[in-house]
Structure 1
């Protein structure tokens, strides 16, 4: 069953409350999304560790309920 963009956003914000989250449904099918997550909590972390925080926020849904997520992380300017 596909995952709603709002659900992805809520899960990320629950784990990373200061984040700015933009979710785009890439295929219109609820299975392929792009996410841009900007958070001060990423400062000092490698890109891999920034993305790990986001994937951890999704509670193991990657590869199952959520088929694909093109993820971009950044630190606020």
Structure 2
């Protein structure tokens, strides 16, 4: 996702993850338009569906579910009000 096309929800997601996880890699893609007509789609320009790839030392020694819980905790209420779907790949450095 390049900076010029990043919307306010994506910007907020990245800021919260940077603050909570200090990632060494963070790639966030807004997949919303490819979900047109599906549940949670918010119309042209609406941000609701994302794919996240994040690498952080905070994930070391944690299983997949524990890592996802850290992401959900960092995003807080965004997961209840702004984000309809979040596909994620979480890794610790060196994995």
Structure with higher helix content: 2
Which has the greater radius of gyration?
2
Aligned residue pairs total 76
Q: Runs (4+) of structure 1 moved beyond 6 Å? A: none
Question: Is residue 51 of structure 2 the alignment partner of residue 46 of structure 1?
Answer: no
Q: Distance in 1 between matches of 2:24 and 2:81?
A: 24
Q: Within 2, Cα distance between the matches of 1:3 and 1:47?
A: 28
Q: Which runs of 5+ in 1 are unaligned?
A: none
Specify which structure has the bigger relative contact order, considering alpha-carbon pairs within 8 angstroms and separated by 6 or more residues. Answer: 1
TM-score by length of 2: 0.70
**Conservation of the 8 A alpha-carbon contact between 1:32 and 1:69:** yes
Is 1:73 the counterpart of 2:90? The answer is: yes
